Amino acid sequence: MKSFTLSIVTFSVLSVLGSCQPKTTGKEKQDPQKSIPTVSVITAQSQDVEDESTFTSNIMANAKNNIVSQTAGRIKNILVDVGSRVGKGQLLAEMDDVNLVKLKLQLVNDSIEMGRLPELFKAGGVSQADFDLAKLKLDLSKKTYNNLLENTALRSPINGIVTARNYDKGDMYNMQLPIFVVEQIIPVKMLINISERQFSRVHAGMVFDISVEALPGETFKGKVNLIHPTIDAKTHTFQVEIVSNNTDSRLRPGMFARVTASFGSNRHIVVPDIAVVKQIGSGEHFVYVLNADNTVKYQKVELGKRLGNQYEILSGINEGDRVVTNGQARLKDGVAVTLTK
């Protein structure tokens, strides 16, 4: 009886152990080829790529003048307002002229006195020193009068538009703020900073395209007016002044502008955007290049501009290199791969 019981127990243990062994089927046998990633590749080729760059700037007046008087005093008359278009030499405001009248009388008296001295000088009635002193006095009176006249009758030195008025008729001008601000907006200008790599390719008269957010869908033309001769050592850029005729006055100071410059074309390699892998956290970009032994190399590249669903490659790979375009998720540097058929 004991022998029978022992046999049953032994059989049960063996059955349990047998059930714990993994079962292997034909379907579960691993195929060594399945562990090798399969990828698609393209052959890197170069093409002519338009070398365009867009810069941001603000529209500025070509010239800006603060209209002031060199002496404090009461404003007798205001003749223009904000938004008024003014011409060069146009009278804008008049200051109190009490002192001007006094200087006018002084100038008349000095002129009369000087008018009679030549005859007296010839007759010996006036010395050379007195004659020279009277002449100097008359010249000083003229300069003083003309200077005060300019600061009493305030005129615009440019053609432009009044963009600020800080006083009213009858106010005391305290010399703290300008009475008017006049800006010349025909033409207007912009300042942009261009990479030093383009320094030799920018020249006076070069035409750029201008667009502003205030006038969507419209493009204006501007020309290079001034090229600053030095490079900023921190930014490695140089400043360029662009001038636009703005004959219709639609571009106004303060508008946000985009300036697009064309520097011709360069022959660079172009690859599909799906071939480019961005290194997380670094901002660097890589591609996988297929080696002759069917392993891949994780190659850093410098991107240029995006061209639809492609990227311009400035450096990192050569024409003729075979670049992986899919299957990168399973790849790392040096891994062997197979190609899709």
**pLDDT, tens digit, 9 for 90 and up, residues 226-266:** 999 999 999 999 999 999 999 999 999 999 999 999 888 88
Calculate ∠ Cα 162-167-171, nearest 5°: 150
DSSP SS3 for 230: coil
pLDDT score of 128 more than 90: no
pLDDT digits (tens, 9 = 90+) for 90-113: 999 998 887 777 878 877 887 877
pLDDT of residue 33: 52
Cα distance between the two ends of the chain: 70
Q: Quote the CA–CA distance of 51 and 240 in Å, as a whole number.
A: 18
Q: Which residues contact 280 (CB under 8 A, 6 or more apart)?
A: none
Q: Which of 51-65, 145-159, 284-298, 326-340 has the lowest mean pLDDT?
A: 145-159
pLDDT score of 267 more than 70: yes
State mean pLDDT over 146-167.
89
State mean pLDDT over 321-325.
96
Question: HSE on the CB side for 310, CA within 13 Å?
Answer: 14
Confirm whether 38-49+267-339 and 54-62+185-265 share one CATH topology.
Answer: no
Percentage above 90 pLDDT, the chain = 62
Q: Which residues contact 337 (CB under 8 A, 6 or more apart)?
A: 36, 37, 38, 39, 290, 294, 295, 296, 324, 327, 331
Domain 38-49+267-339 class? mainly beta
Domain 54-62+185-265 has CATH 3.30.300.20: no
Q: Quote the CA–CA distance of 17 and 150 in Å, as a whole number.
A: 115
User: Band of the pLDDT at 22, cuts 50, 70, 90?
Assistant: very low
pLDDT digits (tens, 9 = 90+) for 198-237: 999 999 999 999 999 999 999 999 999 999 999 999 999 9
Closest CA to 259 of 225, 295, 296, 294: 225
